Amino acid sequence: MRLFNRAAMFNRRASEPKFKANDVVRALELKSGDVVADIGSGGGYFAMLLAKAVGESGKVLAVDYNLEFLSYVEKTAKERGIANIKAVHVGATTIELPECCDLVFMRNVYHHIAQPLEYMSVMKKYLKPGGRIAILDYKRTAKWSHTTLFGHYVDEGQLAAVMERAGYRLASGHDWLSEQSFNVFEIA
């Protein structure tokens, strides 16, 4: 039950107006029928929004290594009548998706990846032709903050360099989030 409380807390935080969740999903320009992997889905706040955006003919893979979070996502989706979310359990350092995706969505996850070059190189095999990876993560701030103190941020220059080495190019970048960077990459 404690993790359910953490999952609910993650959802409350993600829903804060400053994170502009609906604007983020709109900017992804998803189409009905798209398949999206929400990597590190946590409490599933974005998985629910993404599921609505891809419609009943689409699918969202809520991907996490925490089984209790995935259980929370399944429970919440069922309560809300959302039938196009599939929970996918992965290892903490490895990933295996059951199908290829139009979009891989990663929010506040990239900074946790120990070997980002290898991880992103592997992700290419899970993208459909024309598929994209959206990476949102905290920016480093000049002030004392949890994200800065604990390294929970991404330097956009380093991110771009890793993604380029992994075989991607920047498709779009958005600068309207105050605390996060928001970049979308496609296979080069």
Which pLDDT tens digit goes with each residue over 35-69? 999 999 999 999 999 999 999 999 999 999 999 99
SS3 8: helix
pLDDT at 45: 95
pLDDT at 4: 61
pLDDT at 94: 78
pLDDT band at 7 (very low <50, low <70, confident <90, very high): confident
Tens digits of per-residue pLDDT, 79-98?
A: 999 999 999 999 877 789 99
SS3 172: strand
Is pTM beyond 0.85? Reply is yes
More confident call, 108 vs 61 = 61
DSSP result, the chain = -HHHHHHHHHHHHHTSGGG-HHHHHHHTT--TT-EEEEET-TT-HHHHHHHHHH-TTSEEEEEES-HHHHHHHHHHHHHTT--SEEEEE--SS----SS-EEEEEEES-GGG-SSHHHHHHHHGGGEEEEEEEEEEEEPP-SS--HHHHTT----HHHHHHHHHHTTEEEEEEE---SSEEEEEEEE-
Query: What amino acid is encoded at 14 in this protein?
Result: A
Q: Which CATH number applies to 24-187: 3.40.50.920, 3.30.300.10, 3.40.50.150, 3.30.450.20? A: 3.40.50.150
Whether the CB-CB separation of 107 and 113 falls below 8 Å is answered with no
Tens digits of per-residue pLDDT, 124-166?
A: 999 999 999 999 988 766 555 555 545 455 778 898 999 999 9
pLDDT at 140: 66
Q: What is the residue extent of each domain of the chain?
A: 24-187
